[in-house]
Amino acid sequence: MLTDMYLTFLDSFSDYQVPFKLSKKQFVDKFVSKLKIDFDHSVGAWNTTLGMDAFVFTTIAQYQNKRIAYNGGTGVRPKARKNDLVVKMYDYLLPRLKSIGVEQCVLEVLVQNQKAIRAYQKVGFKKTGLLRCYKLYNPTSLPRHASVKYKLTSAAQPILYESFIDESASFLDALLLDGDYSQEKIIEAYDQSKCVGFLIYQPSFSRINLLGVSQIYRRMGIARGLLSALIEIEKLKNITVLNVPEKGAGLNAFFTNMGFKNELNQYEMRLDLT
């Protein structure tokens, strides 16, 4: 079954606006291990002679005080795109989500992917926010605050980290605050014995997931120091940051000032089921 899903995934994203090629191991790590796809409440469309044509991967979790069904990925093979399969899959899926108490469905979609946006709107999804995505090319080490120390840690402090974040993280990154760091590394910033900032990242995807600094320690170069520590530890060629809420003005300004390019944006879309 995983092989069928993987092959369908590759074909579905073969002409995607953004190159999105994963090895089978990366596919399993991303969707099965990390995103924890709920296969009982995901759905696929099958062609009786050619196999799987499309899928909607679903993750169910508490998010922003609601029971949420998150669309972790929708894919439709190019040859099957005139069959309205996204709408048909949701027609099948939504009653089942309601029956287990799901209050809302959430997804993200590239701003320029108008065909997908129209399909989701046909299901009933509405745009609820803009999420900015950034990339830093050829990063180099940056100056650090002299009295602050930076270190890798395996002893995460999710409750403390959440207090350092102004805007609610996107669904994917909010999952990290529930304590699953199996594919991440964490750098913390310390003023003597006090943790005053953190950065969580995924080495396998060169991606920063979350970054936060205590409010009373801001504008002291600590976020810059965390980024510099990441650059020095990992020696990454590029660094990406996905789904920074547009209303998070401070974080967006930081990444821009550090030289990150805002090359892509996504809409957050939601569908209320209650």
Q: Would you tell me how many other CB atoms lie within 10 Å of the CB of residue 172?
A: 16
- Cα–Cα distance measured from residue 66 to residue 138, given in angstroms and rounded to the nearest whole number: 40
- What pLDDT, in 10s, does the model give residues 21-78? 788 888 888 787 777 889 899 999 998 677 889 999 999 999 999 999 999 999 999 8
Which is the CATH superfamily of the domain at 135-266? Answer: Gcn5-related N-acetyltransferase (GNAT) (3.40.630.30)
The CATH number of the structural domain formed by 2-124 is 3.40.630.30
* Per-residue confidence in pLDDT tens, the chain, 274 aa: 678 888 888 888 877 766 677 888 888 887 877 778 898 999 999 986 778 899 999 999 999 999 999 999 999 998 888 889 999 999 999 999 999 999 999 999 999 999 999 999 999 999 999 999 999 999 988 877 778 999 999 899 999 999 998 877 788 888 777 767 888 999 999 999 999 999 999 998 899 999 999 999 999 999 999 999 999 999 889 999 999 999 888 899 999 999 999 999 999 999 999 8
Question: Chain-centre distance of CA 181, in angstroms?
Answer: 14
When computed from its CA atoms, the radius of gyration of the chain, rounded to whole angstroms, is: 20
What are the extents of the domains in the chain? 2-124, 135-266
pTM (predicted TM-score): 0.88
Topology match between the domains 2-124 and 135-266:
yes
